[in-house]
Amino acid sequence: MKRELILVLAVWLCCALVGCGGGEKNYQVSGGEKASTGGDGSAAGTDTFTVRYSDKPQQSVALPADYPEAGFPVYPGSFIAAAQDYEESCIVTGFAKEPRAQVTAFYREALQDAQVISVTDDDQSYVSYGVKDDYIYTVTVVDSTEFKEYPTCYTISLVPAEEGAAEALSQLTGPGGRSQ
């Protein structure tokens, strides 16, 4: 599973860095081979993952169909530059017009009922790692120069938490985890 996740992240990073051609791009990867898809980029089977990305701020990509937006909302009015999904896991990258401090405050509020394992909040970034709504999550917010009109980048990474994960992690962090 770790090897597959590393492969997923590596392909996602490569796709995110490809800026030529513009617009939205969709890729499906199955068994380690990349195949371009047209249309909606939907994936079939459990060994297939989908990567969608766009380098045009006026053209956000669609979130994965089973993305739990109620528990992990995307920042309002943001540009969704990339969405990768594999089985029940996903990574979403967005850019916001507001400053990092404002986007950070939004995610602090959204994660207030999470069991936080680790949080870093300094003048360069906000990173929260924990368990919420049956997912192990990482939310990262940083300053960005990728798009002039979108100075803040955020990434939400979600992996389904196995049964008992929250209880096991509470032994490391204490009941309720750390505060945001």
Amino acid making up residue 46: T
60-71 per-position pLDDT tens digit:
999 998 999 999
Tell whether the torsion through CA atoms of 76, 107, 142 and 115 is positive or negative.
negative
Taking the C-alpha atoms of residue 20 and residue 4, their distance in angstroms, rounded to an integer, is 27
Query: In DSSP terms, which residues pair with 127 in a beta bridge?
Result: 120, 140
Q: Please report which confidence band the pLDDT of residue 42 belongs to, taking 50, 70 and 90 as the band edges.
A: very low
Whether 21 shows a pLDDT value over 50: the answer reads no
pTM (2 d.p.) = 0.73
Q: Where are the beta strands (DSSP E) in 3-124?
A: 24-30, 33-37, 48-54, 79-86, 89-96, 115-121
Which residues, 6 or more positions from 105, have their beta carbon under 8 angstroms from its beta carbon?
Answer: none
114-153 per-position pLDDT tens digit:
999 999 999 999 999 999 999 999 999 999 999 999 999 9
